[in-house]
Each structure stands twice: as structure tokens, then as C-alpha cells.
Homo-oligomer: A and B are copies of this chain.
Amino acid sequence: MQDDLSRTDLGKGGRTPTIGAIEAGGTKFVCGIGYADGTIVDRISFPTGAPETTLRRAADYFADRNVQAIGVGSFGPIDLRPGSETYGFVTTTPKPGWSGFDFLGALRRRFDVPYGWDTDVNAAAYGEAIWGAAAGLDDCVYYTIGTGVGIGVYAGGRLLHGLLHPEGGHMPVRRHPGDGFAGRCPYHGDCLEGMASGPAIEDRWGVKAHELAPDHPAWEIEAHYLAQSVATAILLLSPRKVILGGGVMQQKHLLPLIRSGVAKLLNGYVAAPELGAGLDDYIVEPGLGTESGLKGALALGVRALESAKKQAAEAGIR
């Protein structure tokens, strides 16, 4: 459940207690342990298999490590609604075996500790807001552009949930005039993810994204879709930082193309220095490198522990 702990409650802690973190991706799980100051001291990674096996493997990793809380950032869609009967479940994913799986329940049977629980991209946005590129800011948007496209939202100092959770990766986009690719989203065809994910690039050009030269026309097309989506996110969410992560963003020539695309699309309408001279410091790569997700999960675990302590203290007072 969303609580009101400010960022400043995090990072104050010393190096104990030990907190568990799970970055649960559709392809790969990363489990780690760390501290309230954001340090990760150990980690493992393994492919995502059947849900029971995968969660057993994660739980085995945490066994005998004396974790005081566990934070999870999971692929989804997932149920985040406090009080829901299926809170902690993966809901409608097409991933075989995972639809309707009680993710948190599988962990709870092994460890009676407080749990943090959110989407992978919300966790990454949170990690960046606590310790990364958006540290000290109450509003940021985090993109992962890789196997899919996901968008996490931190707004007014809280992770955005609402009805379900943001699924911005599937927003409709204007087609690039030179792009005849049909799109590969099974639901929407040519939505953002359908046109701009790593597999979309591979389908369109017949080679993997990292094999395309920096001056290949692929990148202008890729930037066209991402810039559009970032402009839309800026107009709808008014973030104080836009952070672009994920495998596709490892191609470092892409980020400047996106920035100039956004500037062209907004055309000076949003009058803020961040969107003018400050643009290079506004649309940025993750401050935590490839660790936004795992550290975000850690931060969710830290928050869950603090929140549980606060509740216990308040119960003691009564």
C-alpha cells in the first residue's frame, strides 16, 4: 500500500538491517540483498521459468540471509490494489503459467516479513527518485525500452497506481512517414511498443538493434516514436525528469535524437528552462545505470519495513 514516507526517510539508515530485493522480469529474475542507504551487497540472476520453480529459487536465495523486508518490482500486469483479494498476484499476462499466480503469497509462505510490491517500471522510477537521476524530485517518468516498452510514473512524491497501474508503453503513436512496418504488438499492432521495442527494430530491419550502425535510418525512426511518446508524457504528467533506460537505450546515439525530437514537437510551448537550455539534463539516462530496477525494489523493501515499524510504534502508543 502506498504510504506517506518521504524520500528522506530512506537513505538515513545505517548498513543494517538487511533488505531483500527482486527485479522480476519476464525473461530474467534478479535477486539481491542490500541496505537502506541503497547499497546492494550481493545478487544473483536466473532465467524466468515456471512461476513455482522461479519463486522457489528466489526464496532459496533469501533463506538464511536474515532479510527484514523484501521489495519486489514485477513484470505484469499485476494487482496493486490494497484490500483486493488478488493483491500481490500477476493478473492477465500472456506468459504461460503466470496469469493469476500469487507472487507475494509464494514469498509470504517462506518469509514472514513486510513486502513492497509494484510494477518493474514503477520500481525503477522509484529507485531513480530515491537514489538516481531524479533524487530529490517528486515527479519523474522512467522508461524501459527493451523487449517491451514500459513506463513507470512517480507523481507528487508517490508511485502512480490509480485503476491498475500505468501501461504507457501501449500508447498510440503517429506513424513515421517512411516506415512501412506493421508493428508487432499482439493487441494494438503499431502502438509505441509495437513500433519501438527491441524486437520491433529487429523485425523491421532483419538484424538486432545493436548491429545497426549509428547513422542507419533505423535510429531516426526509433527516435520519432520515442520522442512522440516522451512529448506526450511531458504534456500529460509534467514530470521534473524523464529517464530513459532499457537495452535499446544502450545505443548512446539514440538519446540526443530523442531530445531534439521532443524539442521539435513541443516547439517552445511548455515554457520551462528544463525544456530549453536544460534539456540535456531533463531527458537523461538512468542515474543508477542498469540497477534502477533492482535498487528500486530495494527501496520498496526499505519503505515497507519503515512503514511496518511506524505502524507498530503507533499501535504501541494506543
Chain B residues, Cβ within 8 Å of A310: none
Near B by CB (< 8 A), chain A positions 71-125 give 77, 91-92
Interface SS of A by simple majority: loop
Q: A77-B271, A162-B139, A172-B228 are in contact. Are A2 and B235 (CB under 8 A)?
A: no
Q: Once bound together, how far apart are the Cα atoms of A2 and B168, in whole Å?
A: 26
Which stretch in A28-36, A207-215, A237-245, A291-299 binds the other chain? Answer: A237-245
User: Contacting A269 at CB < 8 Å: which of B188, B234, B239, B274?
Assistant: B188
Most chain B C-beta atoms within 10 Å of own C-beta, residue among A153, A169, A170: A170
Give the nearest-CB partner of A159 in chain B: B156
Question: What residues on B are CB-neighbors of A2 within 8 Å?
Answer: 156
Contact A160 B156 (CB under 8 A): yes
In this assembly, does A232 line the interface, its C-beta being within 8 Å of a C-beta of chain B? Answer: yes
Query: Size class of A's contact patch?
Result: 35 or more
Query: Which of A155, A236, A239, A274 has the most chain B CB atoms closer than 10 A to its own CB?
Result: A236
Is A165 part of the contact surface with B, judged by Cβ < 8 Å?
yes
Contact, CB under 8 Å: A267 / B187: yes
B160 touches A237 (CB 8 A): yes
Lowest 9 CB-CB distances: which A-B pairs, in order? A162-B238, A139-B162, A92-B271, A187-B269, A168-B236, A171-B232, A156-B158, A163-B238, A187-B267
Identity of the chain B residue whose Cβ is nearest the Cβ of A187 in the assembled complex: B269
A151, A188, A238: which has the most chain B beta carbons within 10 Å? A238
A156 touches B153 (CB 8 A): no
Chain B residues positioned under 8 Å from A269 (CB to CB): 167, 170, 187-188
Interface members, chain A 252-284 (any B CB < 8 Å): 265-272, 274
Interface flag for A161 (CB, 8 Å): yes
